[in-house]
Structure 1
Amino acid sequence: MTQPVLICRPGARGDALASLLRSGGAEVEALDVMALEALPEDSATRSVWLNIDQYDKIVVISPFAAECLSEALDRYWPQLPVGIDYYSVGSATASILFDQLGVRVRIPPAASLKASAESERGENTSEALLTLASLKNVSHQRILLVAGEGGRTLLADTLAERGAMVTRLAVYRRVFSPPSAAMQARLRAGDYRALIVTSGELLEHLAKWCDQAALNQPLIVSSHRLATLAGTLGFSDLKVASGATPAALAATLERSCNPKGADVDQGTSLRASDR
């Protein structure tokens, strides 16, 4: 029996990843350990939406944040205010903003909305976004970060250090749950072909059920930052994809977890001794 690839990306993005992996012949099982929930709108959030035209730039951290932003602007601004520059960490988020709001979105230099699986390079990260020239000199600019609860503070901290007046607005929360009994057994036994994780919080959550057998199995992550975290958690067979898109993750699975393609992986393969 073919061992499955385990994924833990929630919602439509998880469905897209699973579909692409299956089209390449992989067996896929979803861990279903995290859900995304929109936060109730309070007076502070409503005030931000009503005064959105006061911001020079809006940075959207994730696809679900983009959906929450799009829904709010559709309710409060039948005609979008002009003069705002939009940014996102990844192309999936940018695509949602373009499709739902019709706005052009600036993304890290290496990313491309029309990139194919063969041409995608680089990492969709906060670090990459901060290299954009238009985010270098932001003194006295008002910048809104639309994100989920928790998460990294690098963008907010760096933009504030560069002189911006930054507002970070949390529009959703991540709700974690234990893996099913069957999935816990798979993790204990390392009974899977590879595990794909694109979130540090998810990785730390899943590590609670990963015994040594799982720690020795291939782990595909979407950035070198996540690979570093995985190493501290005890994972030893790390594969770093060229980004968090389904195409980049699928390419790394195919080329680094397949004996025939191990030498031509688009991403990077690291053992514990290499870090």
Structure 2
Amino acid sequence: MRLIVTRPQPQADEWVAALHARGVQAEALPLIDIGPAADEAPVHQAWVQLSTMALAMFVSPNAVGRFFACRPAAATWPAQLWAGSTGPGTSAALLAAGVPPECVVQPDASAAQFDSEALWARLAALRSWQGARVLIVRGEGGRDWLAQTLAGQGAQVSCVQAYRRAAPQLDAAQQAVLARALADPAGHLWLFSSSEAIGHLLALAPAGTTWQQARALASHPRIAARARAAGFGRVRQVRPTMEAVLQALG
């Protein structure tokens, strides 16, 4: 069984390396390309205003990476500022970027899934959000649930697009990975962390491809539902942690 990791880079290669270290056959096939925002001026301005915020929430490790890539040379993380994270990957990226551990707010480790709803359960207990300034760092588009929830509690919410997502342009090696997986669905297992990635996979596959024999692990109920709607014959939901994936493989 070969696991295909579809996360964007560099997370895909990081996961593959960790899986190899645990004895799992895995290959990277990133199904979303990440690039800088078309206009980075709002990101630079967000850094200028960061000290006035009560919370800066990051939707993904890519949001962290692109936001901190625009950090002014002398800027440091404000001591009073919470950094919101939807899961362990984003939290790890924040810590690696130099955010103090005591500033990071993330879903409880026992949460059924890591998402905006689970993060809100922690944020709601921290303080009243009436009048608080909140920054949400994300890519182009994305869910508005947390922004709307915070605004409903009286927060002043602004969003900044720190990166762009796009369909992948597969190189020859990646095309070979895709071809092998399509030719031998029983010997491959797809690991999805994004519904958008599933849409890109369907677009990349040859016309007429059927997915009844394909199997997938999905890191959220919405992603699992998207895989089933695409026709995947077997879909299992797992938490987006290495331990959960390894347990599912076992």
CA contact (8 A) 2:181 2:188 kept: no
Q: Which moved more, 1:187-196 or 1:45-54?
A: 187-196
**Corresponding residue number in structure 1 for 2:246:** 250
Q: Unpaired runs of 5+ in structure 1?
A: 112-120, 255-275
In 2, the alpha carbon distance for the partners of 1:206 and 1:235 equals 12
The letter for the 1-side match of 2:119 is L
Map 1:152-191 onto structure 2 (within 5 A): 152-177=143-168, 179=170, 180-191=174-185
Q: Unpaired runs of 5+ in structure 2?
A: none
The letter for the 1-side match of 2:167 is F
Map 1:1-275 onto structure 2 (within 5 A): 3-39=1-37, 41-75=39-73, 77=75, 79-103=76-100, 104-110=103-109, 122-132=112-122, 133-134=124-125, 137-177=128-168, 179=170, 180-191=174-185, 192-208=187-203, 209=205, 211-212=209-210, 214-242=211-239, 244-254=240-250
Deviation at 1:106, TM superposition (A): 0.7
CA offsets, 1:205-255, max 9 Å, x none? 11332832x34322001111211222222223111112x22332232222x
In 2, the alpha carbon distance for the partners of 1:217 and 1:136 equals 46
> CA, structure 1 residues 70+253, in 2 after alignment: closer, same or farther (shift >3 Å)?
same
TM-score (norm 2): 0.84
In 1, the alpha carbon distance for the partners of 2:77 and 2:23 equals 44
Give the secondary structure class of the aligned counterpart of 1:220: strand
Q: Which has the higher contact order (CA 8 A, sep 6+)?
A: 2
Deviation at 1:184, TM superposition (A): 4.1
The letter for the 1-side match of 2:154 is G
Deviation at 1:187, TM superposition (A): 4.4
CA contact (8 A) 2:43 2:67 kept: no
Give the secondary structure class of the aligned counterpart of 1:75: coil
CA offsets, 1:104-142, max 9 Å, x none? 30100126xxxxxxxxx6321111111113467412211
CA contact (8 A) 2:192 2:216 kept: yes
What is the alpha-carbon root mean square deviation over aligned residues? 2.4
CA contact (8 A) 1:50 1:76 kept: no
TM-score (norm 1): 0.77
Aligned residues: 240
Identical columns (%): 26
